[in-house]
Amino acid sequence: MTSTLFRFATAGSVDDGKSTLVGRLLHDSKSILADQWDAVTRASRQRGFGGGDRVDLALLTDGLRAEREQGITIDVAYRYFATDRRSFILADCPGHVQYTRNMVTGSTTADAVIVLIDVRKGVLEQTRRHLAVVQLLRVPHLLVAVNKIDLIGYDEGVFRGVEREVLAVASDLGIDDVDVVPVSALEGDNVVNASDNTPWYDGAPLLQLLETLEVIDEVENTLAPFRLPVQTVIRPQGALAPGLDPDAYHDYRAFAGQVASGSVRVGDEVTVLPAGVRTAVTGIDVASRALDIAVASQSVSLRLADEVDAARGSVIVAAGQEPELVSALTASLFWLDPRPLLPGARVLVKYGTTTVQAIVESLIGRRELETLDLVPAERLDINDIGTARVRLASPLPLLAYAEHRRAGAFVVIHPHDGATLAAGTVSPEAA
């Protein structure tokens, strides 16, 4: 039995029934409050959904008025629910092609992505795009829900054809961990409970898979070398909370941030980058408590033995395991802005808590979603996925994304208006 927190995202083309699937998942796992259910029931009756007797489960997730009017999901909606075995954070991502960027946003921290496919349509271009995002973001687990299986009379042959198509695309992309599940979100087949209508399917329903998949990031973050990007330097001097002794904090100086990977103990030697100064940890604080050890994902303050020149953007790492500082890299870019990316563009790269100037020196290519090949390109347009050479004005301790998701990801920002232009991941050539 496990009690871990599991993050997953959903993605699918328009009308694949994604919102209905999420609603079914929440309803059948008993994660809906009574008043919320009553409101959705009334709304379904007023709209005449299913002849007035059935409940439109999509209304549980499409909270925005524009979403309900158009019958599509526009923005990423996060839902929190729990079963006896695990707690979940669900990122319900839009399916329309113009909102692919929202799917990227929802998948960056996901342990798994559920990609929906309408069994009657099979793999579409948008499906290929979603699978490419899953691969490039190195999401640990892929679940493919082949939906509306009830509309083909639970025909195994049709499902197996779609399954072969999905597995072929996933194989071309190099995705190994794939579960393909026949579901009917509307009828509830194989979502939370195994269906009697698909006796030819011997796999687990979606929720059971979600309850048992490994949380890869926890393993990765624990085994990886210690890293803490400095968020701020805490030196309260006279500005203390009521009840604290000013004399005890007169010389207090600590470096606060979230542990990005690994762990650190009091007494461990660390190096502060980019200064390269080696020192030791003399104390670990969180709120008003002192800790002996801090691990990945904890937000803490570190006290160091020496007066180190460090500020927001500095990175404290395990001594002897300092990453190489990178000034030029090859990156995969998920272009999210209506303005195209052209070679020579000057941008900002935000990495952890630091932001540096950069230039896109050249565009290596754009991924052709029909063939999944990287083809030469002179520009990237919105929702394109491409590869580029990027030069940084100041070196950063980047790792290849394949080695560590968090240490190998960054955001590209417009230098003038601050708009988010792209999500980027570091290709192996940069390591």
Q: Peptide bond before 428: cis, by omega within 30 degrees of 0?
A: no
pLDDT confidence of residue 348: 96
Instruction: Count other C-beta atoms under 10 Å from residue 14's C-beta.
Output: 17
pLDDT at 51 over 80: no
* pLDDT tens string 176-234: 889 999 999 989 999 999 999 999 999 999 999 999 988 766 656 667 789 999 999 88
Measured between alpha carbons, how far apart are the two ends of the chain, in Å?
Answer: 38
- Per CATH, domain 326-426 is 3.90.870.10: no
pLDDT band at residue 431, thresholds of 50, 70 and 90? very low
Percent of the chain clearing pLDDT 90 (strictly above): 39
CATH class as words, domain 5-217 = alpha beta
Common-topology check for domains 224-318 and 326-426: yes
Per DSSP, the three-state class of 109 is: coil
Quote the mean pLDDT of the chain: 84
Cβ-proximal residues to 262 (8 Å cutoff; 6+ apart), any chain: 221, 222, 223, 224, 225, 226, 227, 295, 296, 318
pLDDT band at residue 108, thresholds of 50, 70 and 90? confident
C-beta separation of 137 from 333 below 8 A: no
From CA 421, how far away is CA 413, in angstroms rounded? 5
Phi-psi region of 246 (alpha: psi -120 to 50; beta: other; left: phi over 0): alpha
pLDDT confidence of residue 216: 65
Of 159 and 90, more confident? 159
pLDDT band at residue 101, thresholds of 50, 70 and 90? low
- Give the highest mean pLDDT range of 23-27, 35-39, 108-112, 267-271: 267-271
* pLDDT tens string 361-395: 999 999 876 666 789 999 999 888 899 999 999 99
Cβ-proximal residues to 84 (8 Å cutoff; 6+ apart), any chain: none
CATH class as words, domain 224-318 = mainly beta
pLDDT band at residue 400, thresholds of 50, 70 and 90? confident
State phi, psi for 292 to the nearest 5 degrees: -90, -25
C-beta separation of 387 from 330 below 8 A: yes
C-beta separation of 58 from 20 below 8 A: yes
pLDDT confidence of residue 343: 95
Q: Which residue has the tokens 């994304």?
A: 401
State phi, psi for 86 to the nearest 5 degrees: -165, 155
pLDDT confidence of residue 1: 45
Q: Which residue has the tokens 């029931």?
A: 41
Q: Which residue has the tokens 């005890």?
A: 248
pLDDT at 304 over 90: yes
Domain limits, the chain? 5-217, 224-318, 326-426
414: exposed, middle or buried (Cβ count in 10 Å: 0-12, 13-18, 19+): middle
Cβ-proximal residues to 244 (8 Å cutoff; 6+ apart), any chain: none
pLDDT at 288 over 80: no
